[in-house]
Chain A
Amino acid sequence: MKYFTPELYVAFNSDDPSVADQADADWERATADYHQHLHKIGSRLPDKTRELAESTCLHDAVYLGYLKTPVPKTSAELAVVAVEQADDVLLLIYVLAEEPSFSAPHRADVFSDIAVHWLYDEVDATDRGVYSHDILLSNGRTLSVNFVAFDMLTVSKEKFDISHPDRIPAVAP
Chain B
Amino acid sequence: MPLLVPNFVRRMIHLLADHDVDPELQTLANLNYPQDYQTALSALMTEAQAVAARRVGRDVVVCGNDLCANRELAKNIEHAANGSYKRCPPHAGAGPNALPHYQPNPRPPAGHTFYETTNRKAE
Contact = CB atoms under 8 A, between A and B. Distances in A.
B67 interface: yes
Interface in B67-97: 67-68, 71, 86-94
Given A21-B68, A110-B105, A114-B106, A31 B88 contact: no
Given A17-B68, A24-B100, A119-B88, A57 B93 contact: yes
A115 B33 CA distance: 41
Given A13-B86, A110-B86, A59 B67 contact: no
A28 interface: yes
A77 interface: no
B119 interface: yes
Contacts of A119: 88
A20 B71 contact: yes
Interface in B33-64: none
A21 B67 contact: yes
B92 A35 contact: yes
* Interface size range on A against B: 20 to 34
A115 B103 CA distance: 13
Interface string A52-68: 01111101100000000
Interface string A1-34: 0011000010011000100110110011001001
Contacts of A34: 92
B113 to A, nearest CB: 14
Given A12-B100, A35-B92, A56-B93, 18 more contacts: A4-B92, A13-B87, A20-B71, A21-B68, A24-B67, A24-B100, A24-B117, A27-B89, A31-B92, A34-B92, A53-B93, A57-B91, A57-B93, A59-B93, A59-B94, A110-B86, A114-B106, A115-B107
Interface of B: 67-68, 71, 86-94, 100, 103, 105-108, 117, 119
* Nearest 8 interchain pairs by C-beta: A115-B106, A59-B91, A57-B93, A27-B89, A114-B106, A57-B94, A13-B87, A12-B89
15 contacts: A12-B87, A17-B71, A24-B67, A24-B89, A24-B100, A24-B117, A28-B119, A31-B90, A34-B92, A114-B106, A117-B107, A119-B88, A120-B91, A120-B92, A138-B106
